């Protein structure tokens, strides 16, 4: 595997549905040894996870990493809060945007970059109900058009 080869492990589709993504930021994540092994196996979930700013640090909350199968008594706690590793200037900039504009920081992607686990966090604005309905409608129309094109092609 190349040094900078990227392998996406999972994308947070729920975040893309519930939020309008404004800006992405690549960051490291502070993990224990068994957590890295579980992530490499794909045993994690974004369910209702978000990032909050506490004491000048980004803290990932609600991100579940299942315990490693072959782990011993030193296995990790699946639901513990984890630090996101970002420069202080980035944290200040994000805090300013979150406080001024009422935006949210959500994790959108987990991937391997070389042999490092990276997380993509995004600055997002919550969508309204009618925006979500329009997104579903557009998705259904696109799916229907693809089906008709496929059906036409095989006649």
Give the Cα separation of 113 and 15 in Å (integer). Answer: 22
Extents of the domains making up the chain: 6-127
Alpha helices by DSSP H, listed for the chain, are 13-18, 33-40, 88-101, 129-153
Other Cβ atoms less than 10 A from the Cβ of 65: the count is 24
Give the span between the Cα atoms of 30 and 81, in whole angstroms. 10
Query: With pLDDT > 90 as the criterion, what percentage of the chain qualifies?
Result: 28
pLDDT at 27: 92
pLDDT the model gives residue 155: 63
Q: Is the pTM of this model over 0.85?
A: no
Sign of CA dihedral 57, 58, 62, 64: negative
Per residue in 64-110, pLDDT tens? 888 877 766 667 777 889 999 999 999 999 999 888 888 899 999 99
CATH number of 6-127: 2.40.280.10
- Are the C-beta atoms of residues 110 and 44 closer than 8 Å to each other? yes
More confident residue, 108 or 131: 108
């Amino acid at each position: 595997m190349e040094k900078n080869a990227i392998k996406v492990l999972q994308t947070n589709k729920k975040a893309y549905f519930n939020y309008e993504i404004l800006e992405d930021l690549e960051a490291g994540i502070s993990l224990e040894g068994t957590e890295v092994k579980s992530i490499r196996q794909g045993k994690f979930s974004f369910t209702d996870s978000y990032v909050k700013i506490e004491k000048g640090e980004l803290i990932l909350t609600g991100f579940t990493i299942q315990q490693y199968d072959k782990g011993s008594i030193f296995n990790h706690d699946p639901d513990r809060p984890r630090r996101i590793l970002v420069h202080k200037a980035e944290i200040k900039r994000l805090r300013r945007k979150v406080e001024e504009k009422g935006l949210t920081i959500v994790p959108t992607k987990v991937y391997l970059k070389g042999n490092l686990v990276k997380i993509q966090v995004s600055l997002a604005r919550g969508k309204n109900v009618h925006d979500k309905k329009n997104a579903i409608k557009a998705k259904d129309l696109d799916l229907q058009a693809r089906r008709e094109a496929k059906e036409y092609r095989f006649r």
